Structure 1
Amino acid sequence: MTHHPWRFLRGLPHVTLEWVRMHGRVGETNGVDLIRIHPDQLQVERRVTLTHETVHLERGHTTGCAPAVESEVREEASRRLIELPALLDALAWTEDWDEAADELWVTVDVLRDRIDTLSEVERAALVRRARELDEATH
């Protein structure tokens, strides 16, 4: 099932969303009941930012996070936004990162995060799918 960050946010009635121009940031949360998103983003970027900030909020992150924690949040956000079957389909369709990200309705950075953090089982599924496609074309 595809993750719908706006629908997910509606399920958090205690959380306020504010549109705020922030210098050098696209989003932030107080980790309790507030998410701020920079309004000058493309729709896909707002979708990604909202998902990222809701992960921080769920984990109660109230201030800047260590790089390792930020990596965990990026991984979780990428998993929510890109399910394995959709990833396999997109990568079967194109080898172009921009096209694949567009097809998956994410940014290239989120696509890279998802691919970089594939589990062994997921990576095996990707290799298997690539072999099947290769065999079908030869």
Structure 2
Amino acid sequence: MVSIHPWRELRALSHITVEWVELPEGVHARTNGVDRILMDKWLLQVERRCALAHELQHIRMGHRGHQLPRVELMVRVIVARRLIPLEDLVAACCWSRENLWEMAEELWVTPEVLWDRLMHLDAKERDVLNSTD
């Protein structure tokens, strides 16, 4: 699986607009689920990338409005898998197993997205990662 490029995906979805606004603390982005994404204008580039991927996933799934925590978790896991293919995760683990921040930087994701990926490995992925020790 190849890592996705959320900005490239957005370009292909000409009906979706991104507006740069100030959002409440802790809120990186929001979507109406159809054609509009509000993105906090103070985000760092890597945060923008991850937030955009997250909101695009909500749009793909037809989510409108606030979602239940279990739905948010499902979206986070899907996004983490799409942004961090197993091959890239293995490569990052080989040289930086002890430092989540370094690994996240190498994978061009936030530590939170990396954490979601690591916490939701399937058995086969876990075996692959354990074999790199």
Number of aligned residue pairs: 130
Out of 106, 110, 119, the position equivalent to 1:103 is 106
Shift of 1:60: 1.1
Query: 2 CA distance for matches of 1:119 and 1:55?
Result: 20
Unaligned runs of 5+ residues in structure 1 are 131-138
Query: 2 CA distance for matches of 1:27 and 1:52?
Result: 9
Shift of 1:2: 2.3
> Residue 65 of structure 1: SS of its match in structure 2?
coil
RMSD, matched Cα: 0.8
Query: 1 CA distance for matches of 2:90 and 2:108?
Result: 14
The normalised TM-score by structure 2 is 0.95
Q: Percent identity?
A: 45
> Residue 93 of structure 2: SS of its match in structure 1?
helix
Query: 2 CA distance for matches of 1:41 and 1:33?
Result: 21
- Residue 28 (1) aligns with residue 34 (2): no
Letter paired with 1:51 = A
Match of 1:55 in 2: 57
Unaligned runs of 5+ residues in structure 2 are none
What pairs up with 1:1-138 in 2 under 5 angstroms?
1-24=2-25, 25-94=27-96, 95-130=98-133
Shift of 1:61: 1.0
Moved over 3 A (4+): none
Shift of 1:20: 1.2
Greater relative CO, 1 or 2 (CA 8 Å, sep 6+): 2
Query: 1 CA distance for matches of 2:68 and 2:37?
Result: 19
Query: Highest CA radius of gyration, 1 or 2?
Result: 1
